[in-house]
Structure formats: C-alpha cells, structure tokens
Copies of this chain bind each other. A is one copy, B any other.
Amino acid sequence: MDISVVERLVQNSETKILQIILDGLGDIHSATGQTPLESANTPNLDKLAKESSLGLVDPIFPGITPGSGPGHLALFGYDPLINDIGRGVLEALGIGLTMKKEAVYARGNFCTLDENKIVLDRRAGRIPTEKNEKICEKINIILKDYKELDAKVYTVKEHRFVLEILDDKLDFRLNDADPQKVDLPYKYIEEKLPEAKQSADKINKLIDYILKGINGDRVNGILLRGFARDPGLATFEERFKLTPIAIAQYPMYKGLASLVGMTLAHVGPNMIDLAKALEENWNKGYDYFFFHVKKTDSYGEDGNFEAKKHVIEEFDKIIPAITKLNPDVILITGDHSTPCPMKAHSWHPVPIMIYSKNVRADNLVFSEKNCRLGSISRINAIYEIPLLLAHSGKLDKYGA
C-alpha cells in the first residue's frame, strides 16, 4: 500500500497529533464473554470514545500476526512488507543500542558444542544473565586485539546477546550461523549472494576467534542470526513534515521510534510518568507525539486477563491529564492484538478510535464489540498517519 501521495499533500498547520499505542490491546472473548477492554472500568475513555470514530485495524493484512517491529512500522506509516527491519537490528534496538550507520548487527545465542562441534544445546542451558555479562566482557577484551574486524558483543539476557560489527563495507546478505536444531554440526555463515562471500568469510574467521576465546565448558559456542543494518528509513520529518517525539518506556519502542527520526523523551517507569513526559514536552515545538503503553501486551502474553484489564484502567486514569493539553487529534489503538487466551501476538484486528473536533463521532464506548460498528470500519494500519494528518488539518486536498 503506497501512501506516498500523502507526502506531497502535507501542509503546515499549528496543530498537534497524539498517537497512543496500547501495545497488544486487541483481545478475543474469554469465558466471561468479554475482553479486557470490554470489562475494564474506563469512564474517561468511554467519554472520549463517544466523541470519536471507532473501527478495527489490520497491522499487515487479514490473517497476519505481526511482531513489534512490523506492527509499529505500519502505524508509523511505513509499509512493513517493504521496509523490513532485520532481526539483528530489532534485538539491538531492544537493548537500547543507538543504531550506528556503519554497523551490522546480529542476534546471538551462547550455545554448547561437543568436541566435534556438534550443537548439544542451542541455549547453553539458558545461563543466567550475570554469566552472560561476564562472558561478553571477556569476549570484548579479546576483540580489542582483533585487527580484522571492529566487533563488540552486548548482553541481552540469559543466553542471548547482540553482535555489532562496525564496517560500512560488510555485506549483510548472509544466512544464519545456526543449524536450528540440536545434534547437528555447527553451521558457519554462508552468503546469500556471491557478492557477500568475502563478508561471510570475514565473519566466520571472527567466529573462530571468539570460539577460541570463550573456551568455557558449557558455553563454548555462538550462534548468529538475522544479520542486518539500520534500514535507513526516511524520517517522519522528511515524509510528513512532522516534528516527532516518542513518549515510550521500553528500549524496543524507543528504538523503533528513533529509526524514523523521533526524538526520545525522558520518561519514568510508571503510567503517570507517561502523562508527565507528555505534558513536559507538549510545548517544546513537537507536533507529533508517539505515546506507548507496554504492559497491555506483557499481560496479554502472560494470559493475565485481570492484569491487562488493570493496565487499561490505569491508562484511563491519566486520560484527563492528556485531554487537558487539548491535542487536535488523539488516536488510540494497539500495534496488534495479544489475546489473553492465546498468550501471544495474534492476527485479530485491533480496536482503534480517533478523537478530534472534526471527527464523525459514533457515540459508542471503546470495545472490540463496538469497534465492529464504527465509522472507521476495518482499515490497514498504514492509514493511521494519513488519518491523523487529515484530522489535524495537515493534509491538503488531492487534485482540484
């Protein structure tokens, strides 16, 4: 879905856009016949919703379950089927690394190999994070003496780490160094295209160097997957003439926001801190605010209906602090559904509501059931930004 005409139609306007993502918001009906959103007590949200248009959103297209990366790209107005963010980059964003333009990133697992380099355990017994940190420290020391590549590893957690290689010539079109299953021989990297052969060779040498350096009994190998670079996306400013700021608490979402050129606000750890950060930054020249609530997704993944419902109720309590800022348009949705009964992301379309003074109001409260009936009907997430720009008076007419 090509929305590039939007870029030609964007015009200046003294208005402010607020896009609120309750991560994994959508749900399916539990035994009680209700979803967390339907059963939550949300007087402020209800009031706002009645003056809003409601609908349902497909992050990718019907049936596709998105990860956080594609889910957010879509609602930022970037087609996630075209703009692929590699796994290595996502893992790096997830631990808060600042993307370096010249870097290649890969996801790493510490693993266990036998004397013949047969993979015995792809996760090295899920070592504790502290052990991981010590091993990374050790590897980084020996990497300082390695002349052929400028590489560094970063702890994620348990057996997981990120490998960063600073080399703007390195070709990242590489297959994974991972046999995917245990009891198979260790697999070195292979190039996906002949042009990447030299890069594959270089990284395989680096792997051997690291393997020699680890030399632990249980942790004696590394698997590397998802080689990728910063996708080099055009920024929000370039595409939509917006000056964006991200009000987000978790590294992954801050990272995704930074990929499209958003400034990152300083935000404390609680729900109220999100509202505070929004208020603090409201009059600092930004006209687009990405506002991200993580825990709806976390509790969905845990299958914890009550906790997910509680997060929605906590969010409801900060709505007055948000509306008193008078955003010209407020959009509330999720990046995907995370139904409690499934304990995972899903393909179910996500409730959306758009509030502004010029919206076609549906006079319905915000719920999966009502969103079926709303004026927005069912749209693709890629249209959220055009709708936000439109409702805030930032889109000129197309044609005469």
Contacting chain B: which of A84-92, A175-183, A311-319?
A: A84-92
Contact B399 A66 (CB under 8 A): yes
Does A42 count as interface, using CB distance less than 8 angstroms? no
Does A60 count as interface, using CB distance less than 8 angstroms? yes
Contact A65 B400 (CB under 8 A): no
Residues of chain B within 8 A (CB-CB) of A349 are 375, 377
- Alpha-carbon distance between A57 and B351 when the two chains are bound, in angstroms: 20
Contact B63 A386 (CB under 8 A): yes
Give the size range of A's interface with the partner: 35 or more
Contact A9 B64 (CB under 8 A): yes
Residues of chain B within 8 A (CB-CB) of A345 are 397
Does A216 count as interface, using CB distance less than 8 angstroms? no
Residues of chain B within 8 A (CB-CB) of A81 are 2, 5
Q: When each residue 357-381 of chain A gets 1 if its CB lies under 8 Å from chain B and 0 otherwise, what string results?
A: 0111110000010001111111100
Chain B residue with minimal CB distance to A72?
Answer: B399
Q: Is the interface of A mostly helix, strand, loop or mixed?
A: loop
Does A300 count as interface, using CB distance less than 8 angstroms? no
Chain B residue with minimal CB distance to A337?
Answer: B360
Most B-side CB within 10 Å, residue of A62, A347, A385 = A62
Contact A85 B390 (CB under 8 A): no
Q: When each residue 231-249 of chain A gets 1 if its CB lies under 8 Å from chain B and 0 otherwise, what string results?
A: 0000000000000000000
Work out how many copies of this chain go into the complex: 2
Q: When each residue 377-400 of chain A gets 1 if its CB lies under 8 Å from chain B and 0 otherwise, what string results?
A: 111000101111110000111111
Say how far A142's CB is from chain B's closest CB, in angstroms. 29
A399 interface neighbour in B5, B9, B67, B375, Cβ under 8 Å: B67
Does A3 count as interface, using CB distance less than 8 angstroms? yes
Contact B358 A342 (CB under 8 A): yes
- Alpha-carbon distance between A388 and B87 when the two chains are bound, in angstroms: 27
Residues of chain B within 8 A (CB-CB) of A327 are none
Contact A374 B375 (CB under 8 A): no
- Alpha-carbon distance between A361 and B400 when the two chains are bound, in angstroms: 35
Contact A28 B359 (CB under 8 A): yes
Does A346 count as interface, using CB distance less than 8 angstroms? yes
Contact A70 B398 (CB under 8 A): yes
- Alpha-carbon distance between A62 and B28 when the two chains are bound, in angstroms: 26
Contact A397 B358 (CB under 8 A): no
Known: A358-B342, A372-B375. A389 touches B60 (CB 8 A): no
Contact B372 A373 (CB under 8 A): yes
Known: A65-B397, A67-B397, A386-B61. A375 touches B379 (CB 8 A): no
Residues of chain B within 8 A (CB-CB) of A339 are 358
Known: A29-B360, A362-B372, A375-B372. A395 touches B347 (CB 8 A): yes
Does A56 count as interface, using CB distance less than 8 angstroms? yes
- Alpha-carbon distance between A191 and B85 when the two chains are bound, in angstroms: 39
- Alpha-carbon distance between A359 and B351 when the two chains are bound, in angstroms: 15
- Alpha-carbon distance between A378 and B368 when the two chains are bound, in angstroms: 16
Contact B398 A67 (CB under 8 A): yes
Contact B390 A66 (CB under 8 A): no
**Cross-chain pairs A/B with CB under 8 angstroms, 5 sampled:** A29-B361, A56-B377, A64-B390, A69-B400, A349-B377
Measured CB to CB, the residues of A under 8 A from B are 1-3, 5-6, 9, 28-29, 56, 60-71, 80-81, 84-85, 87, 90-91, 226, 339, 341-342, 345-349, 358-362, 368, 372-379, 383, 385-390, 395-400
Further 19 A-B residue pairs, CB within 8 A, beyond A29-B360, A62-B387, A64-B398: A1-B61, A3-B61, A5-B81, A28-B358, A29-B361, A64-B386, A65-B398, A67-B397, A68-B399, A68-B400, A69-B399, A70-B399, A90-B399, A90-B400, A348-B360, A349-B375, A372-B375, A376-B378, A378-B379
